[in-house]
Amino acid sequence: MEYRRLGASGLQVPELSFGAGTFGGRGPLFGAWGNTGVAEARRLVDICVEAGITMFDTADVYSNGASEEVLGAALKGRRDRVLISTKAGLPMGDGPADAGTSRSRLIASVDDALRRLDTDYIDLFQLHAFDAGTPVEEVLSTLDDLVRAGKIRYLGVSNFSGWQTMKSLAAAERHGRQRYVAHQVYYSLLGRDYEWELMPLGLDQGLGAIVWSPLGWGRLTGKIRRGRPLPAGSRLHDTADYGPPVEEEHLYRVVDALDEIARETGKAVPQVALRWLIQRPTVSSVIIGARDEEQLRQNLGAVGWSLTPEQMAALDAASRRAAPYPYFPYERQEGFARLNPPVVGAG
């Protein structure tokens, strides 16, 4: 396992981290993801730590807090050897104070997360969504206080747009507040929108990408093929509408390319898909999830080797989509391209 700095911070994170979304298993979405209890979670954590995965990601909204509770129990006795990443901001109830990132909500959310995780501090705390109703100055001031109180060590965001991220970073600099160092984003061979704006922003501002759903919401497991029905055990039967949309022909084109490179490398399809992400610009860590030990061990096969430039280029070509405005002129017209050279490796 290799370790990388998280953005412009001094925090070293593993190139693969473990997502605890399968822990707890409450509700229609997270119940379909998995229902891992404490005993099995402890076994998965054992495997992760042995392999060098030292960062574990969760959120308050995952199974209504149960994921944090199970993760905290599974990490008991080894807190000083791991990093805990969690998130807050999405609704945890129907009341007006049950969502968002106001000062009162953030303070309560962090205290609740500490209690559920059974820890004194959170290594990386991320805002799960942008709260348009709360001034960014209020959010940053509150997070700054929580860092100074020792409850949080590093800050990040998740699912922010470019302007939301940049507005927050500018306000942090203007007022001398703690800066965000991470952006947890959806990024995969089936969804490369991250590259148009957020990747250049990350390079410019020192934000490390932590990638969620790197297998395209379970579509790049190697079990989905052109002309075949969706496998009976696929979670997509229950969760497809919750995740990123994917056109079928685009999916099959990417899977065909993955199949070819899997044959060349002797690796499994998901291992190739994960490896492509590990080698992309700005990526600090790729979150892998697993419902059982077999899935986890297969995903661990994404480290310790590299795709060649030619293989990376083949996957780039198979997964490329037309750039949205205002980005397509920079790809198609020489004058625009001369003023803004492309991000290296983001083909």
Active centre residues (catalytic): 62
- Spatial distance between the Cα atoms of 347 and 337, rounded to a whole number of angstroms: 13
- Spatial distance between the Cα atoms of 3 and 54, rounded to a whole number of angstroms: 10
DSSP string, 230-246: PPTT-THHHHGGGS---
CB 247 within 8 A of CB 253: no
Q: What is the dihedral of CA 24, 6, 109, 175, to 10 degrees?
A: -170
HSE on the CB side for 7, CA within 13 Å? Answer: 25
Pairing of strands 16-19, 283-288: parallel
- Spatial distance between the Cα atoms of 201 and 210, rounded to a whole number of angstroms: 14
- Spell 77-93 as b/e; 16+ CB within 10 A means b: eebeebbbbbbbbbebe
* H-type alpha helices, 184-301: 198-205, 236-239, 248-265, 269-278, 293-300
CB 262 within 8 A of CB 291: no
Residue 150: burial class (beta carbons within 10 Å; 0-12, 13-18, 19+): exposed
The length of the chain, given as a count of residues? 347
Q: Would you tell me how many other CB atoms lie within 10 Å of the CB of residue 134?
A: 17
Q: 287, 291, 321, 297: which is closest to 213 by C-alpha?
A: 287
Round to the nearest angstrom and report the end-to-end CA distance of the chain: 26
